[in-house]
């Protein structure tokens, strides 16, 4: 059984990853470190894991070959550089790093370690997104000309996001840095790395971070797409639309509608491909079975996502498009 060490319970998804790993039957959560010792001790007791107050001590443990990082985003470069140098397999919450420079340096260190690396890009494993990707690759939509992705919620407008989610010194940003990560990895999954980006952010309720943001991206082949996100909307399911010369496909939450020249129809569950395991389970299996990092969840993917979001903020600040 793979022994895993957890780095921090800061991120809102931390407990979800731990639950998946525990229920997989593949992993033992052996130890936990947290930048907040009181939080760490309490969670370690719940998990039945050892709490280790010094992160260097945890990373020096030969019996713990893999770590799961849920620490504040701005702390990733220092923590994950230590983990890579210690020769640990690494699973991390997104983003890998806030800036491209930090991300590039970290990617080099991780690649040099030769260990398994996996970043959490969950929609890349889902049946509907995989179906849309295959439609594009098979040419069913003709020449793709445009796309739209949106993920948003009411965390600010309904006042349920935790206060620490607006500490930009830890998060690196607001809605675009958080929920905006999803269009920043879904759109390149479908179309490749963008050629140029423009971005707009807004602060409607006066928190210390952007609460609504839109990215405008040009992808190879002249494909124009929008990536939209917000903490100030209610009742909006995930939206993914791809438009082509022979037809278009529309994802609304759990529904998928395909419009081709011969008519439109709702896609049944039976037509969808098999869902891939979640990224954290792919990570655990890769560590156990060998064979390298999971496809489409590696350092190159992490770097494109950081560059995408960095470009949105840079464009918003400058009023100019940013070229990759």
Structural domains in the chain, sorted by start: 2-120+279-294 (3.40.50.720), 123-274+306-323 (3.30.360.10)
What does the pLDDT average to over 37-49?
98
Retrieve residue 199's tokens: 């971005």
What does the pLDDT look like over 161-170, one tens digit per residue? 999 999 999 9
What is the rounded average pLDDT for all residues in the chain? 97
Give the Cβ contact number of residue 39 at 10 Å: 15
- Supply φ then ψ for residue 112, to 5 degrees: -65, -25
Q: Tell me, what's the pLDDT at 52?
A: 98
Contact in structure between 49 and 32 (CB atoms under 8 Å): yes
Give the Cβ contact number of residue 23 at 10 Å: 10
pLDDT-derived band at 306 (thresholds 50, 70, 90) equals very high
User: N- to C-terminal Cα distance for the chain?
Assistant: 42
What does the pLDDT look like over 3-24, one tens digit per residue? 999 999 999 999 999 999 999 9
d(CA 309, CA 313): 6
Q: Tell me, what's the pLDDT at 324?
A: 86
What does the pLDDT look like over 214-236, one tens digit per residue? 999 999 999 999 999 999 999 99
What does the pLDDT look like over 67-120, one tens digit per residue? 999 999 999 999 999 999 999 999 999 999 999 999 999 999 999 999 999 999
Q: Tell me, what's the pLDDT at 105?
A: 97
The C-alpha angle 128, 132, 135, rounded to 5 degrees, equals 140
What does the pLDDT average to over 260-284?
96
pLDDT-derived band at 284 (thresholds 50, 70, 90) equals very high
Instruction: Count Cβ neighbours within 10 Å for each residue of 176-209 and write b for 16 or more, e otherwise.
Output: bbbbbbbbbbbbbbbbebbeebbbbbeeeeebeb
């Amino acid at each position: 059984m793979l022994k895993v060490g957890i780095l921090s319970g800061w991120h809102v998804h931390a407990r979800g990853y731990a639950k998946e790993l525990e229920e997989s039957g593949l992993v033992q959560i052996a130890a936990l470190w947290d930048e907040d010792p009181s939080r760490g001790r309490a969670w370690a007791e719940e998990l039945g894991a050892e709490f280790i107050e010094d992160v260097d001590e945890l990373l020096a443990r030969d019996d713990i070959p893999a770590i799961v990082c849920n620490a504040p985003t701005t702390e990733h470069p220092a923590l994950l550089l230590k983990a890579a140098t210690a020769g640990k397999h690494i699973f991390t919450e997104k983003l890998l790093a806030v800036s491209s420079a930090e991300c590039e340096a970290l990617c080099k260190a991780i690649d040099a370690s030769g260990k398994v690396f996996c970043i959490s890009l969950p929609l890349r494993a889902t049946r509907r997104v995989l179906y849309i990707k295959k439609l594009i690759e098979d040419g069913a939509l003709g020449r793709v000309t445009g796309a739209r992705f949106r993920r948003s919620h009411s965390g600010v407008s309904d006042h349920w996001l935790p206060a620490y989610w607006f500490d930009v010194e830890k998060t690196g940003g607001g809605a675009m840095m958080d929920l905006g990560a999803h269009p920043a990895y879904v759109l390149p999954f479908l179309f490749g790395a963008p050629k140029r980006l423009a971005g707009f952010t807004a602060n409607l309720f006066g928190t210390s971070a952007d609460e609504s943001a839109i990215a405008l991206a040009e992808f190879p082949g002249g494909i124009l797409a929008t990536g939209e996100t917000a903490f100030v909307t209610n009742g909006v399911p995930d939206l993914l639309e791809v438009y082509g010369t022979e037809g278009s496909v529309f994802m609304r939450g759990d529904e998928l509608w395909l419009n081709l020249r011969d008519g439109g129809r709702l896609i049944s569950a039976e037509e969808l491909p098999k869902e891939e395991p979640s990224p954290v389970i792919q990570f655990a299996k890769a560590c156990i079975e060998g064979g390298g990092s999971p496809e489409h969840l590696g350092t190159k993917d992490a770097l494109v996502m950081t560059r995408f979001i960095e470009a949105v903020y840079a464009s918003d600040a400058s009023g100019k498009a940013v070229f990759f």
